[in-house]
C-alpha cells in the first residue's frame, strides 16, 4: 500500500514538473497579449459594423469598419468626417453619420439643399461625395450650441439623422471611421 502511495506521489510530481512550466508559459503569453490588445481595443481603435442603408452608397449594411477613437481627443471633428457616436436618445446604440454642421453654426435646409452660416458668412454645402441628383429633404433651421454637431446620413431620403432627433453632443462622439476592412473589394482608408 505504501508503495502505491509512493508511486502516486511520484506520478503527481512528474506531472507537475512536466506540465506546470507549459501552463505557466501559456498563461504568460495570454497576459502579455491581453496587456497589448485590450488597451488598443478599448482606447485607440474599435470595430464597427454598419447596419442599415442610411450611409448608402458610400457605406453599405455589413461593412466592417475600424474606428479611430484617439484623434478626437486632440482635435475636433471636421465637416465631412464620418463619425461613430452614441445615439442621443439611447446612448446604448451606436450610429454612423457624416458631420455637416460644426459648433456655433446655423444649418438651413430648404429646397433640397443645405446652407451653413456663421458670423454673418454663409455658404451652400458642397457634397462631392454624394450623387449629383441627391437632395436633402425637409425644411429646417438648426442653431448649434458650443459643443453640438449636426449629422446627416449619405442616403438623405432614408436616413434617420439630426433632422429627426437633433444634434450630437461632442461627449457622445466615439470616433471617426479610419478603415473599411470588409468587404475586401471595398477595403479603404479614410
| Contact criterion met (CB below 8 Å) for 109 and 163 | yes
- Residue of 54, 159, 162, 176 marked catalytic: 54
CA–CA separation, 82 and 31 (whole Å): 35
Q: What is the per-residue DSSP string for 29-63?
A: HHHHHHHHHHHIIIIIEEEEE--SSTTTTTS-TT-
54 catalytic? Reply is: yes
34 catalytic? Reply is: no
Phi, psi of 166 (to 5 degrees): 100, -165
CA–CA separation, 178 and 63 (whole Å): 13
Nearest alpha-carbon partner for 35 in 43, 179, 22, 178? 43
| Contact criterion met (CB below 8 Å) for 124 and 115 | yes
CA–CA separation, 181 and 171 (whole Å): 26
- Residue of 10, 12, 97, 171 marked catalytic: 97
Give the number of other CB atoms < 10 A from CB of residue 86. Answer: 17
Catalytic positions are 54, 97
Amino acid at each position: 500500500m505504501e508503495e502505491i502511495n509512493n508511486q502516486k506521489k511520484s506520478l503527481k510530481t512528474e506531472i507537475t514538473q512536466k506540465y506546470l512550466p507549459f501552463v505557466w508559459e501559456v498563461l504568460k503569453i495570454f497576459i502579455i497579449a491581453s496587456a497589448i490588445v485590450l488597451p488598443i481595443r478599448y482606447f485607440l481603435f474599435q470595430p464597427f459594423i454598419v447596419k442599415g442603408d442610411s450611409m448608402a452608397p458610400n457605406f453599405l449594411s455589413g461593412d466592417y469598419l475600424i474606428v479611430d477613437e484617439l484623434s478626437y481627443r486632440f482635435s475636433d471633428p471636421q465637416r465631412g468626417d464620418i463619425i461613430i457616436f452614441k445615439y442621443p436618445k439611447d446612448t446604448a446604440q451606436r450610429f454612423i453619420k457624416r458631420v455637416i454642421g460644426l459648433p456655433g453654426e446655423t444649418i438651413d435646409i430648404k429646397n433640397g439643399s443645405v446652407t451653413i452660416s456663421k458670423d454673418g458668412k454663409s455658404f451652400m454645402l458642397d457634397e462631392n461625395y454624394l450623387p449629383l441628383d441627391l437632395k436633402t429633404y425637409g425644411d429646417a433651421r438648426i442653431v448649434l450650441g458650443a459643443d453640438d454637431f449636426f449629422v446627416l446620413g449619405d442616403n438623405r431620403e432614408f436616413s434617420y439623422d439630426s433632422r429627426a432627433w437633433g444634434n450630437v453632443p461632442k461627449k457622445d462622439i466615439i470616433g471617426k471611421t479610419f478603415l473599411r476592412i470588409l468587404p475586401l473589394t471595398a477595403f479603404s482608408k479614410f
